[in-house]
Amino acid sequence: MSDKDVIGFIGVGYMGHGMAHNIMKGGYPLVIKGNKNRVPVDDLVNSGARESQDLADLVAQCDVIHMCLSNSPQVENIIFGAGGILENAKKGLIVIDCTTADPTSTTGIADAMAEKGMHFVDAPLGRTPKEAAEGTLDAMIGASDALFERIKPIIQCWSGNIIHVGPLGAG
């Protein structure tokens, strides 16, 4: 049994697939949300990840959840939608959003999560799927100092250049 946080991952596409692999290489238990493209999902499961039954199942198992999605409306759906994170998460959950997102949306999500005792981090990425697979992405982290220190060991699994750019919304 690992004493490390259980990490969830939503969005195991071009960037997320490599990031998720590197999280497992870092020794973290990983739970993923499947998607229509079964190739990266099956690859991660065959490498030791667990696939959740649904979003509520993933949220129930995880201490920290990464999201690597296409846009803010997708993030909002995962957070606020029926069966989503806000509806199912426990106090203390940390969500690290690696989506290139709208800052207004990011701060609104963070406020809603904070009301329920959860934490939201904006962590947009730089570089390509090649660097995601190599674990050398650039990460611009928007979070409080304490939260940044808490998540830094996880981010070091997939980023070779971590920049704490300031509080939430600065990423």
Tell me the domains of the chain and their CATH numbers: 7-166 (3.40.50.720)
pLDDT at 111: 97
What is the number of alpha carbons within 13 Å of residue 120 lying toward its C-beta? 29
State the burial class of residue 2 (Cβ atoms within 10 Å of its Cβ: 0-12, 13-18, 19+).
exposed
Give the contacts of 108 (CB within 8 A, at least 6 positions apart). none
Q: Which residue type sits at 170? A: A
Q: Provide the pLDDT confidence category of residue 2 given band limits of 50, 70 and 90.
A: low
The model carries a pTM of: 0.95
Model confidence at 3, pLDDT cuts 50, 70, 90, reads: confident
Q: How high does pLDDT run on average in the chain?
A: 95
- Is residue 1 very low, low, confident or very high in pLDDT (cuts 50, 70, 90)? very low
150-154 contact pairs (CB < 8 A, 24+): 150/94, 151/64, 151/94, 151/96, 151/121, 153/26, 154/5, 154/7, 154/23, 154/26, 154/28, 154/64, 154/96
Region of residue 64 (left: phi > 0; alpha: psi -120 to 50; beta: else): beta
At residue 170, the pLDDT reads: 80
Longest dimension (CA), the chain: 40
Here the tokens at position 147 are 């939260």
In the block, tokens 């692999």 appear at 21
In this prediction, residue 141 carries a pLDDT of 97
Q: Give me the residues paired with residue 157 across strands.
A: none
Show the tokens assigned to 145: 């100092």
Residue-wise pLDDT tens digits, 104-149? 999 999 999 999 999 999 999 999 999 999 999 999 999 999 999 9
